[in-house]
Every structure is written in C-alpha cells, then in structure tokens.
C-alpha cells in the first residue's frame, strides 16, 4: 500500500524558504514589473506516487517556464512564481473571472524520503511537472546486529 501524500500550503513550510521566496519575487518583479505581481493565486496541484518517484503537477496555463521556480529543502518542495493575467481583446470585458493570476507559492511535504539532488522539472502544455526520485526504503532491509557478552 502506498503512503498518502499531503499537499500543504501552510506557513511553516513557506517560512523555511522565506529568503529564497523573497529573492525569487524580487527577480520576478524585475522581469515582469511590480504591477504584474500585484495579484495572488493558488494554482491547482496534483501529487502522486509511482514505484520510483513522487510526482507533482502544477496547473500554470498561460505562464512561461521562466516564471516559476522550484526549491527543495528537507521533506518539502516549494513552487513559487507568477501566472500572467489573461488579456482581453479590443473592447471586450469579463463577465466572470474564476481563474487566478499573479504571484503564488505552494508548498508540498512528502511523506517518503526522496533524493532531491536528482529532482527533475519540465514545463509541458501549461503544466509544471516535478519528479522526485524516491530513496530505497531502509526499513525493508534486515540488518543483523551482533550481541556482545560482557566479560566479568
């Protein structure tokens, strides 16, 4: 049976990455301008486990690959970036807006040990795919321990 992966957007994980997040938002602000980072959004994510890895997929339609950053620290993955505002054509106006835009930060805590040094990320069809290879479960091995007898 596979472990359940919990996606967490709580402040404790984000605090661990606070310096990195501030730096990323400063860089994005220089690239896109301060007005582009005015909104806040929370893109949808899927987290699932395969036999070999923990997989994270983030919905970022309309975003460029350079507008997102991924950081790993301990058992947490932080995804930060910016989703652009949808542009209207000509004299049109919106009647309903449900899709978020602006800057975002999502944290995911894995329940399995992963080799984050081998993590991979790709951007395909408006989705950011992050793959974290699992570390072999050490508890599955039997390790004999010698028992010593004290000499009196």
**Burial class of 102 by CB neighbour count within 10 A (0 to 12, 13 to 18, 19+):** middle
| Tens place of pLDDT per residue across the chain (152 aa) | 455 554 544 555 545 556 666 666 666 555 544 444 444 788 999 999 999 999 999 999 888 899 899 998 888 899 999 888 777 677 777 777 777 888 888 889 887 788 888 899 999 999 999 999 998 765 556 667 767 777 76
Query: What is the C-alpha separation between 54 and 72, in angstroms, rounded?
Result: 13
Q: What is the pLDDT of residue 1?
A: 47
Distance CA 69, CA 76 (A): 14
Q: What angle do CA 51, 52, 57 make, to 5 degrees?
A: 95
Q: Which three-class secondary structure state does DSSP give residue 27?
A: helix
Answer whether CATH 2.60.40.790 is correct for domain 6-140: yes
State the Cα–Cα distance between residues 78 and 74, nearest whole angstrom. Answer: 11
pLDDT of residue 76: 86
């Amino acid at each position: 049976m596979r472990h359940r992966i919990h996606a967490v957007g709580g402040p404790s994980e984000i605090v661990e990455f606070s310096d990195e997040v501030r730096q990323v938002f400063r860089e994005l602000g220089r690239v896109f301008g301060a007005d582009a980072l005015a909104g806040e959004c929370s893109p949808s994510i899927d987290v699932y486990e395969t036999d070999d890895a923990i997989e994270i997929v983030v919905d970022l339609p309309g975003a460029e690959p350079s507008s997102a950053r991924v950081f790993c620290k301990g058992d947490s993955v932080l995804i930060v970036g910016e989703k652009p505002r949808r542009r209207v054509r000509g004299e049109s106006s919106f009647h309903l807006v449900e899709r978020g835009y602006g800057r975002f930060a999502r944290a995911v805590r894995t329940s399995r040990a992963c080799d984050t040094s081998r993590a991979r990320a790709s951007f395909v069809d408006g989705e950011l795919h992050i793959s974290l290879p699992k570390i072999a479960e050490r508890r599955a091995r039997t390790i004999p321990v010698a028992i010593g007898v004290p000499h009196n």
